[in-house]
Amino acid sequence: MNKKWLLAVLTTLVIAVLAACGTSEEKDSTSGSETKGEEKKVLVMGTSADYAPFEYVDTAKSDEIIGFDIDLAKMIGEKLGYEIKVENMDFNSLIPALQANKFDIVLAGMTPTPEREEVVDFSIPYYETEQYLVFKKEKSYKEMADVAGGVVGAQISSIQEELAKEFGEEHGFKVESRNLIPELIQELKTGRFDATVIENIVSENYLASNDDLAAFPIVVEEPDFKAAVFQKGSDLKVGFDKAIEELIADGTIEELKKKWFVVE
């Protein structure tokens, strides 16, 4: 009886130990799976947060970068399974930083140009825009030729800078560039600039809050578009193109326009 009793006790202990090991392994396995499942791939996105309402910081509320492009990037990221981490940089440094692998993508109200397309890839367009000549009302400009002999400002490395230089050669005015849009407005208001070339929706926000400013649209041959930017040959382009198509088709981008492009 003692031997049988001892054998039964040992058998019970072995079963208990094995069961405990199995439970531990199962728990570890489950825990690892959950951790892995919770992890999201991170895409680092470069932007220039001086371009309201596309990307900017509302300093009265927080230091967070917000805007149309930020919301759009996060929506695309959600569709493709990415977390979007946004980093701020001067506009003229974005493409070099992208080429240097500091960013995975760039969304910064950027327009494809032949020069840019030589070194980076662009998504399909997600927004069409036009350009304004902004000036103080007292100038009463009606056309680009009226600025002859003056100074026109534009953002460094932007399509507005290229456009201003083209018209400057044609109509005889000088072009000076600045890093940030608020700097252009400041130079305009202090009289250093006679006018500045800024995108329409960005201009509208400044016009709404500055009664002394006026503007008119600049007529160009080809329409301007906004697109996401990738390193040359990036696999991300295909997914982004598909996501943008879907967001256009289901009306989401139109809703984003209503949210961000409201001039108050």
Q: What average pLDDT does the chain have?
A: 88
Taking alpha carbons only, the member of 165, 166, 148, 147 closest to residue 156 is 165
Can you give the pLDDT at residue 21? 46
Q: How confident is the model at residue 23 (pLDDT cuts 50, 70, 90)?
A: very low
Q: What does 145-177 look like in DSSP terms, one character per residue?
A: GGGTTSEEEEETTSHHHHHHHHHHHHHT-EEEE
Model confidence at 9: pLDDT above 80: no
* Topology (CATH level 3) of domain 41-128+224-260: D-Maltodextrin-Binding Protein; domain 2 (3.40.190)
All CATH 3.40.190.10 domain ranges in the chain, comma separated: 41-128+224-260, 131-218
Instruction: Please tell me the pTM assigned to this model.
Output: 0.78
Q: How confident is the model at residue 95 (pLDDT cuts 50, 70, 90)?
A: very high
* Topology (CATH level 3) of domain 131-218: D-Maltodextrin-Binding Protein; domain 2 (3.40.190)
For the segment 31-44, the average pLDDT, to the nearest whole number, is 61
CA distances from 34 to 30, 40, 43, 99 (A): 6, 12, 21, 35
